[in-house]
Amino acid sequence: MSEERPSLLIVDDERGPAESLRMIFKRSYNVFTASGGPQALEILRSTPIDVVTLDLRMPVMSGVEVMERIKAMDPDVEVIVVTGYSSLDSAIRGLRHGVFDYISKPFDVPQISDLVGRAVARRRANLRARRMKEDFLSNLSHELRTPLSAIIGYSTILTEELERVLDPDQRTALARIEANSNELLGLVEGVLLLNALDAGDIDVKVERFDAAECVRRSVDKVKAMASEKALALQADIGTDEVVVVADEGKFERILASLLDNAVKFTATGAVSVRVGYGRDNEALEVEIADTGPGMDPEEVVRVMEGLSQADSSPRRRFRGLGIGLRIADRLTHLLGGTLQMQSARGCGTRVTVTIPSHHRAANLSLH
């Protein structure tokens, strides 16, 4: 089966060049035109686009700003800069954001046809590679989850049925089987969730709930782990309700990922949690701070990308896939919020999650 007709978005405030490009490509492409950045971004929000040809000098919003916004929405969209002027600064900024290539006005028809064709080919190749990765991770995770669930179930049955005849060593062995199986199942579930988030296959269930109570439950779940390490677990929650209209399950998963990370990576000291409304009561703020090893700026970027830990050496001290922060960040954006991290080597880490206190469908975007 042949691939669907590619789509091209022409962004140029000059009617002549924009119309010329439209005439060149209309036979083989679904062609859309925009006279400026705001119109272009609106088209990108509602229409799948493979390639954008972009003029750098435009009113209201510069081409470089449009380019940055496009890549933030979908990093796989290929951008070709078509401009009547050039500068080293704009070239460097363009390369930083992954511009496919440049072409000057007046453009050569065979050259720009070749550029757009190669850009479409790269876009399609990237999409195929992403789908293959998503399918592989999904299949692998499902295949692992079934036997793990069986192991957990049978170990629980053995523990309950043989409680009176088991000696201490046998109880310890069964407890380890169950604990390690649950840990592995949690990793598998995390991979499935991250895969679904990246694919945009996550629904949002909006309901009214008490965020403070969610924080209390989440803190209770890590108390045992914190106690084993003699960490002080400090929760500044208060007694009043902190009412939010959002997805309670997604919010609890954000808390679970961040608290698990904070306790796991902190050897001594404390982990603190604070929850409350922002200054204008329009947003919920949750702050989780620890006295762990901290990270350099480059390490923060790496762990936020997921499937990585700051210490990636074979002898790293902590187990796990390093996807907790990535999951928390993606879920926060799914709820229309932001996740900010402050960290420095030797000075611990502070993560602040801000989400709207009332559901706003327009903000629920994964791109």
Of residues 160, 194, 156, 196, the one with CA closest to residue 178: 156
pLDDT of residue 86: 53
Query: How wide is the angle at C-alpha 137 spanned by C-alphas 320 and 135, nearest 5°?
Result: 165
As given in the structure block, the two tokens for residue 310 are 């700051």
Query: Could you tell me which residues are beta bridge partners of residue 80?
Result: 53, 101
Of residues 157, 152, 159, 214, the one with CA closest to residue 184: 152
As given in the structure block, the two tokens for residue 102 are 């440049």
pLDDT of residue 289: 93
Amino acid identity, position 43? I
Amino acid identity, position 279? R
pLDDT of residue 352: 93
Q: How far apart are alpha carbons 333 and 325 in whole angstroms? A: 12
Cα torsion for 66, 69, 70, 73, to the nearest 10°?
Answer: -160
- Give me the tens of pLDDT residue by residue for the chain, a chain 367 residues long: 446 889 999 998 888 888 999 999 999 999 999 988 899 999 998 898 999 998 877 877 887 888 888 887 888 899 988 876 555 455 555 556 677 887 777 778 888 899 999 999 999 998 888 788 777 877 777 788 788 888 888 888 888 888 788 888 888 888 888 878 887 887 777 777 777 777 677 788 888 999 989 999 999 988 888 888 999 988 888 777 888 888 999 999 999 889 988 998 899 999 999 988 877 677 889 999 999 888 888 887 777 765 544 444 433 444 444 678 888 888 998 888 999 988 888 889 999 999 988 754 333 333 3
Task: Decide the pairing of beta strands 283-290 and 270-277.
Answer: antiparallel
CA distances to 133, 272, 362 from 45, in Å: 24, 39, 11
Sequence-ordered list of residues with C-beta below 8 angstroms from that of 261, at least 6 positions apart, any chain:
324, 325
Of residues 308, 298, 280, 304, the one with CA closest to residue 344: 298
DSSP code string of 210-255: EHHHHHHHHHHHHHHHHHHTT-EEEEE--SS--EEEE-HHHHHHHH
Sequence-ordered list of residues with C-beta below 8 angstroms from that of 100, at least 6 positions apart, any chain:
51, 78, 79, 80, 115, 118, 119, 122
pLDDT of residue 271: 93
